[in-house]
Structure 1
């Protein structure tokens, strides 16, 4: 073998792995450049913990990608090792055989991706084929394993991943998307079964599938990437490096326990966050952005957090303990602002804001276009319109009907790459009104003046900035208000008053105003706005 022949795919221009289309927004191929950023972070951590040693010059380190798609991580790892081991193992063929048979392992997520990964790593879809760069394999699969795995259905859902039986129990001719790494109660036994009893991985790295249809309303889906991370940590590698959606940091269905675990784990050594839509993975729409983390089994301490925006760090990386709050504060610049607000120990608005369906009516509920013929009509704020219903229709929170109310849309966001408003403009609903699930009742009052002051407060940049810290997606549910102080409403609150109240510096004010745009001059919404696009 010649140096030029080895890993020939890597040397082509353009790199084939930069040109292939993603399987979906849930099974995203990692761009080679992004994979190498993750590997650079890993190599730096290895050197820091090993007296400056070069990870890529160590022939004993074993790597696993448990969710292999394009094979990019394995290919790039192998490429680094080929260079790093050149002095110790000068014979290129012997070096390549050692790396591919003893150091680099993967588990394909589908039959197709296993073939693609083998083509990327071995330069042949058969690891033992005539064109394979490896000469030490007896099997076609080599060290990139794939076999069909079935879901375990109970009451219409998979007991391992929560997938919907109606969506994925569809015959042998189609992929099951029952990923082997997470469809087991004993991951150590599964790995021993696949790769041998003595297999202990030093590094587990990957970009797992993000979610699967769970049988809920419409396009409802449950996240599954956290299951891959949890299984990887059960294997106790020296390092784990994963890229996932960032919504786990502040929200996400079924992610509360995972978030608590990750924030309290002092072995989390580094997080690199890409909050801007499309920046981490160009062309892939992942609400809330993406991030990768480095977990270090032998580390105990604060986690270094770095935000990347338009390709550049937003400031110096900051080491901090992630469990200071119940969610991860993504921007380092926001932490001292929040600390000043929380220092006053004031009650917060999540206790005032209603839960979903404040009057028990779903988003698709429609009233009559006029109140003609209704005995006791009340006006109903609906999805994209107003209607009229009988008062007796309201069985939940009926006492609020005759109060002044401030309504906020339960979904707020746009298709833009950068969110700058975070909350809709408030709607002041007078007595004799109710709303569907499209809205939350952010507050209800006996007095119109208090309602107006409250609506003005919700319009401030200060409030919307605090909301932004907890709002990972378009959903603006009650919990996103949990950092916002519930202040007396006997006065009108402005940003200037609020900045002064909490002693914010010029730099802190400038940061808030760089993140949050002013609403337009119309004080409140009078017409019902279009509901924002769903997840």
Structure 2
């Protein structure tokens, strides 16, 4: 038995099986062991700094929880480190392993399958009491890695009338497949038969997380460290960036348990965007217990083969800390630049790159209004993206040329739901979605389209500006094409979506000239190093501006 435990916990073989398994779905992304260990290294350093140099792995009283375990990689690596760190205090390997697994390491599976996988990773057996388990002191087959099927709590369900099978009377009943879960927002499609996963995660389906933890583990628990990689989203009819994120719910519940330290890896979309993440972003940016953030903005960098637009990051939160957060950017799995300690609530979004902060400060120091006040909201003329007009203006009373999704349509002027007055002016159109499937984004905005009187657009575009004359419109289009503007947009744009809010760092400048990057760099007093940084991040557009006579193809 001693030989088995030693072999299993020291993981000396190659390859590690947890580097070889495929992700189950877009909301159940397995953490690579390399990233898990990087997070544990960050935790180890922070613990030592806050505890007079003591090693967290040499403390037999510290408790760890992964409340959304999938492959069990965090629990396995924690167990391995504790096995080494506690050797002098508990010399007998079997006693040491039993102590760690029964007293220090806890997990909550997110599905039945991942719970079994996590137990196999940590106990070397799906049954913690089985003959192959490296633990010898459990009296329950799930050990300390809990999972039981949980149901959603439905609200807002439609009611329908049915005939009662015994009384024959017509009764009102709730209709399955309708309504929303009050805890996670899942739609009725997640009301599933017993053979299917509900994806109703016990950790977030509660009003009292401390009571829920006591219910799961049979006693009140106070965890010193909470760590993990929560489910990211519910694909509940949304696609890509429109799918509803849920990782913030797990983070918020975990912090309600008030651990000494917590570290989680999540998508980085919350930095500047994300569906329904406004309150979460305000909370996290304003929480001075955020000790560090390690950011991976490059697609596929942290999770090879997994497309998470906007990249991923992990943060370390410490209960007793109060100060600036140290931000470090990673690129090709190497540290990029030096880490910088700064307060995250200096802006309403998290500026990812440390090198961008002094540039933004110089721009904001002039106190100029910003372009988001000029740019229209979505549906500038009240027409959705899927609106289809006529193919020609023939036999139309007052035709308006309509810029739609990669085509030109026509619509009667009187049929425009809103902003009919804009039809008569010169407009600058910007596509609402800009980006590619490349690992590195370099343009951030499409080329502007300058349209004259007699034109409108669907919600494929935003109206960046409306003017009575053509020169002003062309001046704005030229300004929007500069690297300077697109760099400022990039600080707020975390995905392909480019709504009005991404222009909130772009200053309004006089449109009495066609601005060049060189003029803008001089206007804001940028150094050679700052200019070089901007131009390393943003690729140049050519000088061609699209006008109303050119096909509405985007860059």
Report the TM-score range of the alignment, normalised by the length of the smaller protein: over 0.9
Instruction: Give the counterpart of 1:183 among 190, 202, 205.
Output: 205
CA distance in 1, matches of 2:265, 2:507: 34
Supply the distance in 2 between the matched residues of 1:130 and 1:310 (Cα, whole angstroms).
Answer: 43
Shift of 1:219: 8.7
Indicate the residue corresponding to 2:330 in structure 1. Answer: 308
Question: Once the two structures are superposed, what CA deviation does each residue of 1:448-486 show, in whole Å capped at 9, x if it has no partner?
Answer: 000000000000000000000000110000000000001
Distance 1:247 1:460 in 2: 25
After TM superposition, the structure 1 = structure 2 runs for residues 49-64 of structure 1, keeping only pairs within 5 Å, are: 49-64=50-65
SS of corresponding position for 2:305: coil
Whether the 8 Å contact between 1:6 and 1:133 is mirrored in structure 2 is: no
Q: Whole-Å Cα distance in 1 between the matches of residues 238 and 539 of structure 2?
A: 35
State how far apart, in whole Å, the 2-side matches of 1:178 and 1:207 are.
16
CA drift at 1:184: 0.3
Secondary structure of the structure 2 residue equivalent to 1:40: helix
Work out the CA distance in 2 between the residues paired with 1:284 and 1:218. Answer: 12
Q: Which residue number corresponds to residue 93 of structure 2? A: 92
Deviations along 1:47-69, one digit per CA (max 9) or x if unpaired, are: 00111111101100000000010
1:12 aligns with 2:7: no
User: What TM-score do the two structures reach when normalised by structure 1?
Assistant: 0.97
Any residues of structure 2 matched to 1:108-147 within 5 Å, and which?
108-147=109-148
Residues 33 and 460 of structure 1: CA distance in aligned 2, closer, same or farther (over 3 Å): same
Which residue of structure 2 aligns with residue 519 of structure 1? 541
Paired residues of 1:164 and 1:213 also in contact (CA < 8 A): no
Change (3 A) 1:118 1:472: same
Local SS of the residue matching 2:251 = helix
1:112-169 per-residue CA deviation (whole Å, 9 max, x = no partner) reads 000000000000000000000000111110000000000111121110001111x211
Question: Offset of 1:319 from its aligned partner?
Answer: 0.4
**1:491 shift after superposition:** 1.1
Q: Aligned-pair RMSD on alpha carbons?
A: 1.3
- For structure 1, the 5+ residue unaligned runs are none
Q: Is the 8 A contact 1:7 1:122 kept in 2?
A: no
1:294 corresponding residue in structure 2: 316
Whole-angstrom distance in 1 between the partners of 2:181 and 2:119:
29
Match of residue 228, structure 2, among 193, 199, 206: 206
**Aligned partner of residue 389 in structure 1, secondary structure:** strand
Larger mean Cα displacement after TM superposition, 37-46 or 210-219: 210-219
- The whole-number CA distance in structure 2 between the counterparts of 1:359 and 1:87 is 72
Q: Post-superposition shift, 1:85?
A: 0.5
Q: Assess if the C-alpha contact under 8 Å between 1:412 and 1:423 holds in 2.
A: yes
Report the Cα offset of residue 6 of structure 1: 2.9
In the alignment, does 2:182 pair up with 1:159?
Answer: yes
Report what 2:476 is aligned to. 454
Q: Does 1:236 align with 2:258?
A: yes
Match in the other structure for 1:74: 75
Is the contact made by 2:102 and 2:144 (CA closer than 8 Å) also made in structure 1?
Answer: yes
In the alignment, the residues of structure 2 paired with residue 506 and residue 497 of structure 1 have an alpha-carbon distance, to the nearest angstrom, of 14
Offset at residue 216 of structure 1 (A): 5.7
State whether residues 111 and 147 of structure 1, in contact with CA within 8 Å, keep that contact through their aligned partners in structure 2.
yes
Alpha-carbon distance between aligned partners in 2 of 1:170 and 1:219, rounded to the nearest angstrom: 25
Match of 2:490 among 461, 465, 468: 468
1:494 aligns to what? 516
Cα contact 2:486–2:538 (8 A) shared by 1: yes
**C-alpha contact (below 8 Å) 1:150/1:176 kept by paired residues:** yes
What secondary structure is seen at the aligned counterpart in 2 of 1:294? Answer: strand
Structure 2: how far apart are the matches of 1:6 and 1:419? 46
Corresponding residue for 2:388? 366
Q: Is the 8 A contact 1:407 1:442 kept in 2?
A: yes
- Taking the aligned partners of 2:410 and 2:518, their CA distance within structure 1 comes to 40
Q: Secondary structure at the match of 1:11?
A: coil
Q: Any unmatched runs of 5+ in structure 2?
A: 157-178
Kept after mapping to 1: 8 A contact 2:447/2:554? no
Structure 1 residues 61 and 218: CA distance shift in structure 2, 3 A:
closer
- Where in structure 2 are the equivalents of 1:498-509 lying within 5 Å? 498-509=520-531
**Structure 1 match to 2:552:** 528
Structure 1 CA distance for aligned equivalents of residues 228 and 461 of structure 2 = 39
Q: Determine the C-alpha separation between the residues in 2 that align with 1:373 and 1:388.
A: 11
**Partner-residue secondary structure (3-state), 2:546:** coil
2:484 is aligned with 1:483: no
Do the aligned partners of 2:241 and 2:274 also contact (CA within 8 Å) in 1?
no
**1:318-376 CA distances to partner (integer Å, 9 max, x unpaired)?**
00000000000100000000000000010000000000000010101111111111111
SS of alignment partner, residue 308 of structure 1: strand
| 2:515 counterpart SS class | coil
Determine if contact 1:378/1:434 at 8 Å carries over to the other structure: yes
Q: Distance in 2 between matches of 1:219 and 1:62?
A: 36
> How far apart in 2 are the matches of 1:425 and 1:271?
34
Secondary structure of the structure 1 residue equivalent to 2:203 = helix
Q: What is the DSSP-based 3-state SS (H/G/I as helix, E as strand, rest coil) of the residue aligned with 2:76?
A: helix
Q: Does 1:411 find its partner at 2:412?
A: no
Give the SS at the match of 1:182. coil
> Offset at 1:524?
3.1
Q: Kindly state the Cα deviation for residue 428 of structure 1 after the two structures are TM-superposed.
A: 0.4
Alpha-carbon contact 1:213-1:219 (below 8 Å) kept: no
Partner of 2:176: none
Higher mean Cα deviation, 153-162 or 1-10? Answer: 1-10
